[in-house]
Amino acid sequence: MTLAVIQLVSQDDILANLANARRLLEQAAAGGAKLAVLPENFAAMGRRDLAAIGRAEATGQGPILPWLKLAARDLSLWIVAGTLPLPPDERPEEKAHACSLLIDAHGERVARYDKLHLFDVDVADQRGRYRESDDFAYGSQVVVADTPVGRLGLSVCYDLRFPELYSALREAGAELISVPSAFTEVTGAAHWQVLIRARAIETQCYVLAAGQGGTHPGPRETYGHSAIVDPWGQIVAEHDQGEAVLLGERDSAEQAAIRQRMPVARHRRFFSAAHLRLPGLE
């Protein structure tokens, strides 16, 4: 069961971004992939008209959703569509979410995940200040869906810093977890590999970490280093900067053996702050 992770260096030209993504999806399909993950902001990196883009897509007037359906059908490929701005279903007038869609090989939408944790952070880079909540509404649901390569949990970028989400995905049956991302150069160099490996180890899932890797409008520098990580935390495939297609196989038998040998899901205990005993505070 072949998996693909795609790294892009998306710009602010939507049609050019879609053409680049299609070329790399074709390479993934030619390599035998059944499911491919695109990075965060794959179609509209650096755009300031995200609300208008989201409304156009929601009302059937934008290019991104038709492109996704056609690419999936033409290539017989399941696609995790990184993120794109989309308002709530049936409410195009509301604020957009940073939305990750799962599209099946017939071009039909199987699942939608709205990013739970928005990147409102100050970073010591050229841009300095990131406030995703200015453009996006917070998501509220944990999403897991069945695919031909296993049960897939959906997450996005900054979510990586919140392990409780990944525990919930594992509890919901996830065997693989997609993490479309656009980590900054600064935060990526410090934390990216540690985080993706940790999330794989603690959930015993394959982590499909598709990043942006290069220079974008803004200005913005992204870290890249997209990777496929196995349930033991080993890097199966990785690419530093620039466009890339990474391929890897899911070994379901080995994954089951890891979970049997080290049954962390069964050993997990839950507690609250009320149960903590702190020295000097008894």
**pLDDT tens-digit map of 66-123:** 999 999 999 999 999 999 999 998 888 899 999 999 999 999 999 999 999 999 999 9
pTM metric for this prediction: 0.95
115 catalytic residue (yes or no): yes
Rg over alpha carbons for the chain, rounded to the nearest Å, is: 18
pLDDT in tens, 125-151: 989 999 999 999 999 999 999 999 999
The percentage of the chain sitting over the pLDDT mark of 90, rounded to a whole number, equals 90
Q: Which of 40, 175, 185, 243 is catalytic?
A: 40
* Beta-bridge partners for 35: 3, 78
Catalytic residue status for 40? yes
Annotated catalytic residue within 34, 57, 115, 243: 115
* Torsion angle in degrees (nearest 10) through CA of 114, 117, 122, 127: -20
Q: Which CATH superfamily is domain 2-275 in?
A: Carbon-nitrogen hydrolase (3.60.110.10)
Domain range list for the chain: 2-275
Please state, in angstroms and rounded to a whole number, the distance separating the CA atoms of residues 16 and 202: 38
Q: Of 34, 157, 205, 238, which one is the catalytic site residue? A: 157
φ, ψ at 2 (rounded to 5°): -90, 135
**Tokens 């989201």 correspond to what residue?**
54
Helix (H, G, I), strand (E, B) or coil at 63: coil
